[in-house]
Amino acid sequence: MDLIVIMKRTFDTEDRISIKNGLIDEEEAEFIINPYDEYAIEEAILLREKHGGEVKVVTVGDEEAEKELRTALAMGADKAVLIDTEDVDVELDHFSIAEILTSYLKTQDFDMILGGNLAIDDGSGQVAPRVARKLDINLVTTITKIEVEGDKVTIERDVEGDVETVETTLPVLVTCQQGLNEPRYPSLPGIMKAKKKPLETIDYDDLDLEEEDIQAKSKSVELYLPPERTAGRVLKGDMEEQAKELVELLKTKSKVL
Amino acid sequence: MNKKVLVIGEMREGELRNLSFECLAAARKIAGEGEVVGALFGENSQQRASQLIQYGADRVLVSEDDNLKKYTTDAYRQAVIQLCNNENPESIILGHTSMGKDLAPQVAAELQSGLISDVVDLEVEGDNVIFTRPIYSGKAFEKKQIEEGPIFATVRPNNIPALEKDEARNGEITSVDLSIKDLRTIIKDTVKKSTGGIDLSEANIIVAGGRGVKSAEGFNTLYELADILGAGVGASRGACDAEYCDYSLQIGQTGKVVTPDLYFAIGLSGAIQHLAGMSNAKVIVAINKDPEAPILEVADYSIVGDLFEVVPLLKEILKKEIYSNA
């Protein structure tokens, strides 16, 4: 089975966030594989272990993303591809990234494409469903279980807490939700092997695309931090008094009961 | 100004979701003196359509096509694309729900348009609509606008207040013929896991437990408290990892992001991963044995004590309140 994972390198949002010159300050930030994409990489490896084939991880970005691609290779992916957009002069958004990925994926053979449910930095979850549509292949989002038998794919997906079982056929694009699997950590031999695995860089120029084809349709005009929450009141007295006071405060002061 | 806005309504268990009314409020703001067109699919849509009008739509398009009984990716995508082609809206608004997240990006791809996901606020400036949305799991916010093509956005539940219901409003309800075919992904089964039908993303009150709840049985006391309050039940990653409850309840960076009016964090330390999912709640209450727990630093009210003592007391007091108000 030919499996392609579309991956994003993200800012670790467990880090502290600050804004510098109107942009998120990335200087001291830790970058990671988007956690939802780790589920996608893990599931692709599990499917390969079961059905054979190859796992290729693709990302759009600059050469800094090579580190995360190597991590994916160390986890067990076979090949990695970086679509380098460093020299692109126009702004990019979800539309743009989906256009870039689609034009690459159209030239590839695959049975399944896996991605994360969303990226934890931007949180939109747009790119994968857009790609499925552009490729005109089946789409199943927020999956928590997947089984493949020949061409038939049976999937469990999370629909706001309920579990929906769907049936579809290959080729399919799935987005991975938490609960699907437990992503492995790269092992030491895995890390050694990853150094020798192929990591290909494709310039976006090599994809049949003009800058005007990928120009963003949306634009970020301002970034700001929310007011910091400060500690409120720690109630005093015996437990019964505290419980009574809490209910009273919620009713009369905060007016949320 | 004066735009035509298409709002795709959404039902849950046969009733319109409150979020659909919130979307209409957003649409009204965008439309100015223009027109807000509602759309509703599936069983009962004819019956529920008038509510969309009462909450701000000027007219409503409905389809009870058999293929649209329940949300499926293929059928709904075709339906919305056909409506867009017929109506040529200048703006499209959906809820940022399981349905909206699945559907909107596909429609945007087909229309070759931009899309602003998960918005919590909007301002109209001349011809421009500027949306506010949380990024980095709510640790920052961005303001964003569409540069070209339809003003397309999905709205997060519980943030944009719905308009007052106006029973005097009238509007046309039109049944539309849609051509839905070539359905490639089929639903075989749905297992309800969410409790009491209260969806966490739309819940006004959430009762969430962490590792301190100690067991699946321990969670029962949280469910009881939630029942009294009409609240949804959530959990920290730790509680899910320890199998006290299902992952579908997880709130946090991985998991659901919620913005209820009132959030009870019970036996829950408040790791950054969890705070990312709930720190924009309006009021946070912490109940924790540990006076040093980080959750106390963001809570509006804290009780330092044993949850197994505090929660039963709260249940008792709240029950009495309800009876005295009834």
**Residues A93-116 pLDDT 10s:** 999 999 999 999 999 999 999 999
CATH for B4-175?
3.40.50.620
User: Per-residue pLDDT for A21 more than 90?
Assistant: no
Distance CA B241, CA B249 (A): 11
Give the pLDDT of residue A81: 98
Query: Looking at residues B72-89, what average pLDDT do you find?
Result: 97
**How far does Cα A128 stand from its chain's mean position?**
9
Higher-confidence residue of A129 and B276: namely A129
Give the pLDDT of residue A22: 85
Give the pLDDT of residue B326: 55
Q: Is residue A247 classed exposed, middle or buried when 0-12, 13-18 and 19+ CB atoms within 10 A define those classes?
A: middle
In chain B, domain spans: 4-175, 200-325
Residue of chain B with shortest Cα separation from A154: B188
In chain A, domain spans: 2-213, 230-257
Q: What percent of chain A has pLDDT over 70?
A: 100
How many residues would you count in chain A? 257
Chain A neighbors of B291, CB-CB under 8 A: 234
Backbone torsions φ then ψ of B151, nearest 5 degrees: -80, 100
Partner residue facing A98 (CB), from B77, B109, B188? B109
From B292's Cα to the closest Cα of chain A, the distance in A is: 12
**Nearest alpha-carbon partner for A78 in A199, A188, A202:** A199
Tokens of residue B250, six digits: 């997880």
B273 is in an annotated binding site: yes
Query: Confidence class of residue A33 from pLDDT cuts 50, 70 and 90?
Result: very high
Count Cβ atoms below 10 Å from residue B232 Cβ, excluding itself.
27
From B257's Cα to the closest Cα of chain A, the distance in A is: 10
**Nearest alpha-carbon partner for A142 in B98, B64, B149, B131:** B98
Give the pLDDT of residue B21: 98
Q: Which residues of A141-175 are buried (b: 16+ CB within 10 A; e: fewer)?
A: bbbbbbebeeeebebbbbbbbebbebebebbbbbb
Give the pLDDT of residue B77: 97
Backbone torsions φ then ψ of B110, nearest 5 degrees: -70, -35
Query: Looking at residues B125-137, what average pLDDT do you find?
Result: 93
Contact B253 A169 (CB under 8 A): no
Distance CA B205, CA B262 (A): 5
> What tens digit of pLDDT does each residue of A154-211 get?
999 999 878 999 999 999 999 999 889 999 999 999 999 999 999 999 998 899 899 9
Distance CA A54, CA A50 (A): 11
Give the pLDDT of residue A48: 98
Looking at residue B181, what DSSP letter applies?
A: -
Give the pLDDT of residue B60: 98
From B209's Cα to the closest Cα of chain A, the distance in A is: 16
**How far does Cα A251 stand from its chain's mean position?**
41
Query: Confidence class of residue A17 from pLDDT cuts 50, 70 and 90?
Result: confident
Give the pLDDT of residue B122: 98
| CATH architecture of the region B200-325 | 3-Layer(aba) Sandwich (3.40)
> What tens digit of pLDDT does each residue of B19-54 get?
999 999 999 999 999 999 999 999 889 999 999 999
CA distances from B67 to A138, A254, B180, B293 (A): 17, 46, 7, 51
Contact A123 B117 (CB under 8 A): yes
Contact B136 A121 (CB under 8 A): yes
User: Per-residue pLDDT for B195 more than 70?
Assistant: no
Tokens of residue B103, six digits: 């559907």
Q: Which fold has domain A2-213?
A: Rossmann fold (3.40.50)
The DSSP annotation for A59-126 comes to: EEE-GGGHHHHHHHHHHT-SEEEEEE-TT--S---HHHHHHHHHHHHTTS--SEEEEES--TTT----
Residues 6+ apart with CB under 8 A from B302: A231, A232, A233, A234, A235, B285, B286, B287, B288, B295, B296
Query: Looking at residues A128-145, what average pLDDT do you find?
Result: 98
Give the pLDDT of residue B1: 66
Contact B136 A169 (CB under 8 A): no
Topology alike, domains B4-175 and B200-325: yes
Query: Looking at residues A142-155, what average pLDDT do you find?
Result: 97
Average predicted confidence (pLDDT) for chain A: 94
Contact predicate A156/A143, CB 8 Å: yes
Give the pLDDT of residue B205: 96
Contact predicate A173/A115, CB 8 Å: yes
Residue of chain B with shortest Cα separation from A158: B248
Give the pLDDT of residue B197: 60
Distance CA A75, CA B141 (A): 33
Q: Is the dihedral of CA B145, B150, B155, B161 positive or negative?
A: positive
Tokens of residue B147, six digits: 């540069």
Rg (CA), chain B: 21
Tokens of residue B28, six digits: 């009204």
Query: Looking at residues B6-29, what average pLDDT do you find?
Result: 95
User: Per-residue pLDDT for A13 more than 80?
Assistant: no
User: Per-residue pLDDT for A228 more than 90?
Assistant: no
Segment among B122-131, B236-245, B315-324 with least mean pLDDT: B315-324
Q: Count H helices, E strands: chain B?
A: 8, 18
B253 is in an annotated binding site: yes
Contact predicate B169/B53, CB 8 Å: yes
Give the pLDDT of residue B202: 82
Average predicted confidence (pLDDT) for chain B: 93
Q: Which residues of A207-217 are buried (b: 16+ CB within 10 A; e: fewer)?
A: bebeeeebbbb
Query: Confidence class of residue A220 from pLDDT cuts 50, 70 and 90?
Result: very high
What is the phi-psi region of residue B56: left when phi exceeds 0, alpha when psi lies from -120 to 50, beta otherwise?
Answer: left
Query: Confidence class of residue A35 from pLDDT cuts 50, 70 and 90?
Result: very high
Contact A257 B262 (CB under 8 A): yes
> What tens digit of pLDDT does each residue of A42-71 get?
999 999 999 999 999 999 999 999 999 999
Give the pLDDT of residue A162: 86
**How far does Cα A40 stand from its chain's mean position?**
8
Give the pLDDT of residue A92: 96
> What tens digit of pLDDT does each residue of B230-260 get?
999 999 999 999 999 988 899 987 788 899 9
Contact B250 A239 (CB under 8 A): no
Q: Testing the interface with A: which of B185, B228, B279, B306 to mutate, by most A Cβ within 10 A?
A: B185
Query: Looking at residues B252-271, what average pLDDT do you find?
Result: 91
From B319's Cα to the closest Cα of chain A, the distance in A is: 11
Chain A neighbors of B118, CB-CB under 8 A: 123-124
Q: Testing the interface with B: which of A159, A228, A233, A255 to mutate, by most B Cβ within 10 A?
A: A159
Query: Looking at residues A3-25, what average pLDDT do you find?
Result: 88
B236 is in an annotated binding site: yes
Residue of chain A with shortest Cα separation from B305: A239
